[in-house]
Structure 1
Amino acid sequence: MALEPYHVVAVNTSKASENKIHDDATARRFGFKAGFVGGVNVYAFMTHLPVRQWGVDWLQRGTGEAKFAKPVYADAAAEVAGVADADGLALTVHSEGILCATGRAALASKLPPAPVLGDFKSVPVRTERAVADEASLRIGDWLGMIPQPVTAASHAQDLADIGETDPIYAREQIVHPVTIMRCCNWALSHNVMLPAWMHMGSDVRNLGLARVGDTLTARGRITKNYEHKGHKWVELDVMVVANETTPIIRASHIAIYRPRQVAEAA
């Protein structure tokens, strides 16, 4: 059964960020139309349908998956479509007639035991950031992030930036998945230098709710570092935590930390 699609106009909220893949001039030099809208924003668009389908239950204990195939560009309309099946929702994101992302969401009645906080090591951010490579992103290393307080102002800004129309986040002061998923990015960018990089996908298990006033941190372990089609890839197993006590999500987070275009331009 097909759900009513969700439509949103994408905003590039990262034009001024250190990641130059969001910069128009840099992205065009690499052969793209313009700077990318962040993958965490596209994932945020995709979460609208499972929240519409299952409400706060999905935010507390649902699962989500996203794979990004093509960029979504600033000021372009994006359509999130969902088809309900026996296993949950199959999700797609189209923009300008192009399939940009695929994924799934579910609210299973039975899941394996939830991961526990003690299985994820809490470490401070590195005092010096080396350029991202096989040594600075060594398999087995743990990564932290600079703690991020969620204020009323930052919460409202995040909702506005992604054009979220579901009232549950403002009404109940629930932190949006875009804010939480950004912590997975910060586990990388707060520890290594990433001149131009791309979030390529995430597999997420929701574990609890964060609310305005909480402080978010991430505990991530590098599980893979490899080359594929000229790109350098890294994968993290990340737990995002509220107030150093409450697990919010566990995610397998995948990124290209050195696109082949960067290597070719060097």
Structure 2
Amino acid sequence: MSADLPERLEVTAILDPRPRYRGTSHEDATARAMGFPAALLPGVFVYGHAVRLAVIGWGADWLARGRAQVRFRRPVYAGDRLVVTRGALAREADGVAAPVTVTRGTEGEVVLDGRLGLADRPPDPPTTLPLPPTFMPKRAIRPGDFAPPLQLGSGETVLSPDFVAESRADFHETEAIFVERGLVHPGCLLRRTMEDAVANLALPMPLIFAGAEVENLAPAPVGARYATSSRIVSVSEARGKHYFETEEWLLADGHPVARHVRRNLYAMSRASVS
């Protein structure tokens, strides 16, 4: 099986200007005001590059029962040359997995590390996945002002062929399986659950995606109606940086297709910016 999974892939971090990035860390002016030297490439883009090894090697199997765990170590900026590498595959209790690393160009600086895996079978979803409406007005989240768990609401979105094609262009996703089989790519799914969850919240700063665990349950079809059953499950603080963790179940036409556990940086002191 290891022969099916590429060991190395080189890509360029491309961030096309989009109105959706205004007022976020993915726009130069906002990123500089937050203390960064330039606009950050969305973490979900870096994730999308990392899991290409799994899509190339395992194809539809990974989309149906694949796993990934990623941590973002350093910011990535548009134009950075990225190298995705994976280590040796090892058998685990319920599947196989290999370490994955994304480094920046000639410096070899690690910007992402984690694992890619293929489960013997996908996880069983909960028997009940609540889908209350999105909070109106948004719930203000400040450090220390709430205690998890907090169930979040969700709207319903049709991921139409035009929408998904635009998303593939945003991510510069070129793997043929998504067009040939009419499937939504992993980066679009991870972004969908994040946007559904964050739509409920009024935060003290633009959210920064810090890491995630992903479990796929089924390939995600283009044209289905998508909603996210999500909740804040924990909060933490480290060196002036405040995080909350969300568990997000993505449903397509009512059927679970993915589970995402995401770590989100939502508040920090000026001194904590690195």
TM-score by length of 1: 0.89
Q: How does 1:180-259 map to 2 (within 5 A)?
A: 180-194=189-203, 195-243=205-253, 245-259=254-268
Amino acid of the residue matched to residue 104 of structure 1? Answer: R
Partner of 1:7: 10
Deviation at 1:55, TM superposition (A): 1.1
Matched to 1:34, the amino acid is A
Question: Cα 1:187–1:217, aligned 2, differ >3 Å: closer, same or farther?
Answer: same
Task: Give the equivalent residue in structure 2 for 1:38.
Answer: 42
Give distance in 1, aligned partners of 2:89 and 2:102: 18
- Structure 2 residue identity aligned to 1:167: A
1:13-42 deviations in Å (ceiling 9; x for gaps): 566436521121222233322111111111
Residue 183 of structure 1: how far off its partner (Å): 2.2
Cα distance in 2 for residues equivalent to 1:256 and 1:72: 16
> How many residue pairs align between the two structures?
261
Instruction: Point out the more displaced range, 59-68 or 25-34.
Output: 25-34
Superposed displacement of residue 101, structure 1: 0.4
Amino acid at match of 2:252: A
CA contact (8 A) 1:10 1:162 kept: no
Which residue does the alignment assign to 2:114? 103
**TM-superposed deviation, 1:4:** 4.0
Secondary structure (helix, strand or coil) at the match of 1:20 reads coil
1:261 to 1:240, Cα distance in 2 relative to 1, 3 A = farther
1:56-75 correspondence to structure 2 within 5 Å: 56-75=60-79
Structure 1 stretch 91-100 or stretch 59-68: which is displaced more?
A: 91-100
Q: CA deviation at 1:136?
A: 7.2
How far, CA to CA, are the matches of 1:153 and 1:213 in structure 2? 10
Q: 1:81 to 1:19 in 2, by over 3 A?
A: farther
Alignment correspondent of 2:93: none
RMSD: 2.3
2:41 aligned partner, one-letter code? V
Q: How far did residue 11 of structure 1 move?
A: 2.5
Distance (whole Å) between structure 1 residues aligned to residue 166 and residue 110 of structure 2? 28
Partner Cα distance (1:216, 1:68) in 2: 27
Structure 2 gap segments, 5+ residues each: 91-95
- TM, length-normalised to structure 2: 0.87
**231-240 or 145-154: bigger deviation:** 145-154
Identity fraction in percent:
28
Where does the alignment leave 5 or more consecutive residues of structure 1 unmatched? none
